[in-house]
Amino acid sequence: MTVLVTGGAGYIGAHVVRLLVRSGRDVVVVDDLSTGTAERVGGAELVRLDVAAPGSAEALARVLRRRGVTDVVHFAARKRVDESVADPLRYYQQNVDGLGAVLRACTAEGARSVVFSSSAAVYGDVAGGLVREDAPTAPVNPYGRTKLVGEWMLRDVAATGALRGTALRYFNVAGAGWPDLGDPAVANLVTRVLDAVGRGERPRVFGTDFATADGSGVRDYVHVMDLARAHVAALDAMAGDAEPYRCLNVGTGTGTSVLQVVAGLSAAMGVPIATEVVGRRAGDPAEVVADPAAIERVLGWRAEETLASTLASAWDAWRHARP
């Protein structure tokens, strides 16, 4: 079994690469290093390639053939909501064309399974309560729409019998499994708070007038190491059964507010953190929390880490990158 990990030099992908390598599996990484770095892939082979460029399906097929790839985990994509609103065509080109090329290469070379990085962004405005996979999908930005299109593409290809597919809908990913694999992007709450504190600024809280216990937005924070384990479980499940396609939430089932995250980071860092409360951001729902029952039932996966361990590992990795 050889696993191709696209985007394996990035934040989440590098965790999966390290986990697979340490469990004795053969791994090859394809990454254009646009946001990832070569050091993150460790001893695995790195092929530098833009999966969405003209001719990429053929280039990917050559990698699959040369390395005897049986399974693929596809992370390579753009993930910034603000950029996707400003330049939607780039997001469709990168995220949709990129997956198309990966699937063309897989079907041409007979790869048997694909795990696709989807997102809770496919749900859009959530009314509250735990979100199940059969909740309506109505993404509110181009990024979320590229992920939903990606799920449809994978499901349709899997329905032909050519391969098996699993789309994992990640909720809010944070932390680090190893201090050298922290999240380098200052794009989500945890890294935004760490960044602001490091600059001596007060992190901004977007709205404290939501209908939640403390008024700030509630999300489901999943440790990146737990998330990485879910990918390995998905690969193992596809090798062992005949279900063509699955779509599964990856979350803890527990909601945590923005103010609770700030308090948790304050405890991990051992410093008080004063915040600046500003207005809500357009399109921010009050609460988005996964119902993880399906992934628990189907893959036997459940989150093992706690909010405290997630935030402490994020802080360790942040310091590691800025000695």
Q: How far is the CB of 29 from ligand NAD (least distance, A)?
A: 9
Q: Is 170 an interacting residue with respect to ligand NAD (CB under 6 A)?
A: yes
Encoded tokens for 12: 């989440």
* β-strand partners of 227: none
Helix (H) or strand (E) holding 249: strand 245-250
Q: Are the beta carbons of 232 and 20 closer than 8 angstroms?
A: yes
Binders of ligand NAD in range 96-155 (CB under 6 A) = 98, 117, 119
> Near ligand NAD by CB under 6 A, which window of 17-25, 29-37, 213-221, 283-291?
29-37
Q: Is 51 an interacting residue with respect to ligand NAD (CB under 6 A)?
A: yes
Tell me if residue 143 is catalytic: yes
Q: How far is the CB of 300 from ligand NAD (least distance, A)?
A: 22
Three-class SS of 162-229: CCEEEEEEECEEECCCCHHHCCCCCCCHHHHHHHHHHCCCCCEEECCCCCCCCCCCEECEEEHHHHHH
> Near ligand NAD by CB under 6 A, which window of 8-16, 18-26, 235-243, 258-266?
8-16
Find the binder of ligand NAD among 28, 32, 181, 303 (CB under 6 A). 32
Q: Are the beta carbons of 111 and 70 closer than 8 angstroms?
A: yes
Encoded tokens for 197: 């504190």
> Near ligand NAD by CB under 6 A, which window of 5-13, 63-71, 195-203, 283-291?
5-13
Rounded Cα distance, 280 and 290, in Å: 22
Q: Is 315 an interacting residue with respect to ligand NAD (CB under 6 A)?
A: no
Judged by beta carbon, residue 126 or residue 277, the one nearer ligand NAD is 126
Rounded Cα distance, 200 and 220, in Å: 27
- Site track 56-95 with ligand NAD (rule: CB under 6 A), x = hit: -------------------xxx-x--------------x-
Binders of ligand NAD in range 172-191 (CB under 6 A) = 173, 188
Q: How far is the CB of 11 from ligand NAD (least distance, A)?
A: 4
* β-strand partners of 47: 30
Q: Is 220 an interacting residue with respect to ligand NAD (CB under 6 A)?
A: no
Q: Is 249 an interacting residue with respect to ligand NAD (CB under 6 A)?
A: no
Query: Half-sphere exposure (CA, 13 Å, Cβ side) for 212?
Result: 24
Q: Is 193 an interacting residue with respect to ligand NAD (CB under 6 A)?
A: no
How many C-beta atoms lie closer than 10 Å to residue 198's C-beta?
13
Q: Is 35 an interacting residue with respect to ligand NAD (CB under 6 A)?
A: yes
The CA-atom distances, in angstroms, between 203 and each of 34, 184, 209, 223, 307 are: 27, 17, 17, 21, 19
* β-strand partners of 30: 6, 47
Of the candidates 11, 92, 123, 143, the residue annotated as catalytic is 143
Find the binder of ligand NAD among 3, 12, 60, 81 (CB under 6 A). 12
Q: Is 52 an interacting residue with respect to ligand NAD (CB under 6 A)?
A: yes
Find the binder of ligand NAD among 5, 7, 27, 305 (CB under 6 A). 7
Q: How far is the CB of 188 from ligand NAD (least distance, A)?
A: 6
DSSP-H helix ranges across the chain:
11-22, 56-67, 81-86, 88-91, 98-109, 142-159, 189-198, 224-240, 258-269, 293-299, 307-321
> Near ligand NAD by CB under 6 A, which window of 46-54, 99-107, 154-162, 263-271?
46-54
- Burial profile 297-323: b = 16 or more Cβ within 10 angstroms, e = fewer: ebbebebebebeebbbbbbbbbeeeee
Rounded Cα distance, 149 and 146, in Å: 5
Q: Is 47 an interacting residue with respect to ligand NAD (CB under 6 A)?
A: no
Q: List contacts with ligand NAD (CB under 6 A).
A: 7, 9-13, 31-36, 50-52, 75-77, 79, 94, 98, 117, 119, 170, 173, 188
The catalytic site residues sit at: 143
